[in-house]
């Protein structure tokens, strides 16, 4: 009888346990930019030695985390698909993008300002809240300007492909250069 009572007590205590809450990929999405060739807009084009810095930030965004903190190459991006975080406490994020940043004569800085509205959405107990964004309509959603040094604009055109930034599964903005 004691064995049955002990087994019953264990069964009841285990059945009252809740399923573990695990948060998988339900975080605030980053803005996805893809770079294209301005002379052939259907073809992706890789940027070379791009450095990106949020205006007002202390340092550039780290793209190569495996490199030591003293290595300046950890801040370089080479590719055609870039993921940038948006500010979750303001309706504007501005970035400085420096193309060919390692070149002594060919570096070129442009600025992009993203204007949007924010909404905090409850995901689950494990994930908490995430922020989703809605880019303002063209032309105020993304504003491009020359950088701090007037060196000409390297970003020729910007196409907003989707204004809803809820996931990182799609490209949000197409940049032609």
Give pLDDT tens digits for 120-157: 999 988 889 999 999 998 788 999 999 887 889 999 99
- CA separation for the pair 45, 154 (Å, rounded): 13
Indicate if the pLDDT at residue 6 is higher than 70: no
Of 87, 75, 81, 66, the C-alpha closest to 33 is 81
Q: Which residues pair with 95 in a beta bridge?
A: 54, 112
Checking if the pLDDT of 67 tops 90, the result is yes
* pLDDT average, residue stretch 90-108: 94
Instruction: Look at residue 142 in the predicted model and tell me its pLDDT.
Output: 95
| Pairing of the two strands 77-79 and 81-84 | unpaired
Name the pLDDT band for 9 (thresholds 50, 70, 90). Answer: low
Domain boundaries, the chain: 30-176
Q: Can you name the residues that pair with 142 across neighbouring β-strands?
A: 114
- Output the CA angle 149-65-121, nearest 5 degrees: 85
Residues contacting residue 90 through CB under 8 Å, at least 6 positions apart = none
């Amino acid at each position: 009888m004691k064995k049955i009572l002990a087994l019953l007590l264990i069964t009841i205590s285990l059945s009252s346990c809740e399923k573990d809450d695990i948060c998988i990929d339900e975080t605030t999405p980053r803005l996805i930019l893809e770079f294209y060739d301005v002379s052939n807009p259907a073809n992706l084009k890789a940027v070379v030695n791009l450095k990106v810095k949020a205006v007002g930030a202390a340092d550039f965004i780290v793209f190569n985390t495996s490199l030591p903190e003293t290595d300046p190459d950890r801040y370089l991006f080479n590719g055609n698909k870039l993921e940038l975080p948006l500010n979750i406490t303001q309706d504007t994020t501005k970035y400085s993008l420096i193309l060919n940043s390692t070149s002594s004569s060919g570096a070129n800085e442009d600025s992009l300002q993203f204007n949007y509205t924010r909404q905090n959405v409850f995901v689950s107990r494990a994930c908490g809240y995430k922020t989703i964004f809605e880019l303002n309509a063209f032309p105020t959603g993304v504003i491009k300007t020359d950088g701090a040094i007037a060196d000409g604009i390297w970003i020729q055109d910007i196409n907003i492909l989707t204004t809803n930034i809820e996931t990182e599964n799609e490209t949000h903005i197409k940049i032609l250069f």
